Amino acid sequence: MKTWLLSVTRKPWGVLAVLLGAWALLLARLDSLSLWIDEWFTVDIIRASWAGFLPHIIATERRPPLHYALLKLWAGFTGNSEFTLRVYSTLLALLAIAVLYALGRHLENHRVGFCAALLLAGSPFVVLYGRMIRGYTQTMMLGILATWLFLRALRKPCKNQWVAYGLSVVALLYTDYSGIPLVGSHFLCLLLLPQAHQVWRGWMTTFSIALLTCTPLLPVILTQKEHPVRLTDLARETSGFVLKLVYPLYAWGAGETIFPWHPAALPGVMVCGLLLLLGLVTLFRTNRTGFWLLISLLGLSLLFMALLTTFIATDIPFINSASRIPAAAAVFYLGVASGWVALSRRWLRWIGGLLIGVAFTCALWNYYHGYQFHNPIYAVPIRQIVEEVRAKCASGDLIIAEADTLFGYYYEQNPGPALYQDADYIANKAYIQSHRPNRVWLVTFGRDSTAENYRTEDLADWLASHYLSMYWWGYVAQDPIYQIVKEDLLGRPAYAYKLLVRLYTAPYREWCNE
């Protein structure tokens, strides 16, 4: 097996096959996915004029502008359909796989680079986030690229190498703030290992110029920091902090569409964890630069994310922690690949590869079929739900939906016979009292800490006292064990469906205006 693997990894067609497989996974049913609210924020930003571009980002996002600017340029050539915008993300995911192969080959050898690229290509985590109209794949690709260029500059500290590294660092920091711990890991690596004066001088010059180049971001950061931020469940509790440190390792090892009680989940995660440890031990013995680079990048990224979401961005729950440091996911797979290649027994490689492969396959199956999403908002087929409601509604009906369901976004692209309104308790109640629609359709999300945002349950109670509750439809049913675990963790009832459509019909009686 080792001879076969060595042959495959040294041939260009081996890496090309990995890229083609990744491309197939990333494009599969890409045009059938509905937007979720954060993707809609991105679409809304790039549709703004260039004059209002930066103010729009400052008002709605907490990220630097480079991803949005490049995506806006891309949309200028390809159009701003959901499919073409997602293709941009998938192309960057392919670049990330290719650069990870180069990084692994540079750090250790062809086999490690090939296995790391294969893991990244088949990762359910990467397939989930690599298809979204967000900056995840750009951040990942630039993080891997900056690390690869950093190692090249250490090996050959010339001006051109440092310039290339500096440009990648600037691009990374202008894409996402998670680049900060990555650059910090490079500095820590320099501190922990003896370096020539030429290396230190090159890095300090590059870092100083990069820092000056990023100073325009400071006013943006300060402006965004003034935005009010809600406090999510477990945001500042010890248990929440621990979960933020641990959960990414699970999400990278098994994906976010397979729960821990699934038979394939924990074996796959445990194998990834053990191989990561073996990879770090092997690197410590054979390549101290690689060891300190991987352990500092993983450690600083996890710590940065946990501190950020505990004290500043407290509206980000632990369930979203892994996606906040996408470059660290690639480093995780690089460590796992190093451990797998270091296994001395062929049967151990087969068992390890089989367990990881089964976990990835089950998670990908769930992803494409809409099962077991840890964050079920990703699985809501709102475009199809709009089509169903449009086919059933009639003139004289009123549809009310919470704005972040994006029901209104899709419905107003091709309006049906019913009138549509965003959920607003006071405005909706006043309209219903004055116009008395025949039927009212109420579309709501299952929620946790944002349950009172739109007062839709108050509206549902009021409707129940004036209308007849006829039917309801639930979408994206939650796993029963997941509900129990969630209720125990948060201490309150958990929703059974991520989205509900409720239908109310006017009774044959006089109205009681209140």
Strand-strand pairing, 439-445 and 497-505: antiparallel
pLDDT for 454: 87
Residue 395 lies in a domain: yes
Which tokens hold the place of 505?
A: 């019909």
CA-nearest of 428, 440, 497, 500 to 468 is 440
511 lies in some domain: no
**Same-domain pairing of 462 and 350:** no
Report if residue 351 sits inside a domain.
yes
- Show the domain range for 369: 2-378
Q: Kindly report the number of other CB atoms within 10 A of residue 321's CB atom.
A: 22
CA distances from 128 to 50, 65, 176, 368 (A): 30, 23, 19, 10
Q: Are strands 419-422 and 397-401 parallel, antiparallel or unpaired?
A: parallel
Backbone angles phi, psi at 198, to 5 degrees: -65, -40
Residue 274 lies in a domain: yes
Question: Rounded to whole angstroms, what are the CA distances from 240 to 138, 234, 246, 266, 322?
Answer: 28, 5, 10, 21, 14
512 occurs within a structural domain: no
- How deeply is 177 buried, as exposed, middle or buried, from its count of CB atoms within 10 A (0-12, 13-18, 19+)? buried
Note whether 169 and 101 are within 8 A (CB).
no
Same domain? For 263 and 274 the reply is: yes
Q: Are residues 408 and 292 in the same domain?
A: no
- Residue 371 and residue 385 in one domain: no
Q: Tell whether 388 and 369 lie within a shared domain.
A: no
Strands of 497-505's sheet in order across: 419-422, 397-401, 439-445, 497-505, 468-477
Identify whether the C-beta of residue 31 lies closer than 8 Å to the C-beta of residue 2. Answer: no
Residue 7 confidence (pLDDT): 53
Asked whether residue 106 falls in the same domain as residue 235, the answer is yes
Q: Is the dihedral of CA 458, 447, 227, 45 positive or negative?
A: negative
Do 308 and 391 share a domain, yes or no? no
Q: Do 225 and 373 lie in a common domain?
A: yes
Instruction: Give yes or no for a contact between 431 and 421, defined as CB atoms under 8 angstroms apart.
Output: yes
DSSP 331-382: HHHHHHHHHHHH-S-HHHHHHHHHHHHHHHHHHHHHHHHT---SSGGGG--H
pLDDT digits (tens, 9 = 90+) for 299-342: 999 999 999 989 888 888 889 999 999 999 999 999 999 999 99
Q: Does a structural domain hold residue 441?
A: yes
Q: How far is CA 158 from CA 144, 169, 171, 290, in A?
A: 20, 17, 20, 21
Residue 514 counted as domain residue: no
Residue position matching structure tokens 């109310």: 504
Domain annotation covers residue 513: no
Q: If phi over 0 gives left and psi between -120 and 50 gives alpha, with beta otherwise, what is residue 272?
A: alpha
Locate 351 and state its tokens.
Answer: 């068992």
Give per-residue pLDDT as tens, 391-403: 999 999 999 999 9
Q: Cα separation of 209 and 455, whole Å?
A: 50
Predicted pLDDT at 397: 96
245 in the same domain as 183: yes
Q: How do residues 402-444 score in pLDDT, each as one tens digit?
A: 999 999 999 999 999 999 999 999 999 999 999 999 999 999 9
How many separate domains does the chain show? 2
- The pLDDT, as a whole number, for residue 225 is 60
Last residue of a domain, one of 336, 358, 378: 378
Mark whether 11 and 56 lie in a shared domain: yes
Last residue within a domain, chosen from 378, 397, 412: 378
Q: Please list the ranges in the chain whose pLDDT falls under 70.
A: 1-12, 220-229, 508-514
Q: Are residues 367 and 470 in the same domain?
A: no
DSSP state letter for 472: E
Alpha-carbon distance of 74 to 50, in angstroms, equals 14
Each residue of 279-291: b (16+ CB within 10 Å) or e? bbebbeeeeebbb
Cα end-to-end span (Å), the chain: 77
Same domain flag for 259 and 123 = yes
Tell me which of 343, 378, 413 is where a domain ends: 378
Rounded distance between C-alpha atoms, residue 246 and residue 115, angstroms = 24
Report the amino acid identity of residue 270: M
CB atoms within 10 A of CB 207: 17
In terms of Cβ atoms closer than 10 Å to its own Cβ (0-12, 13-18, 19+), residue 438 is: middle
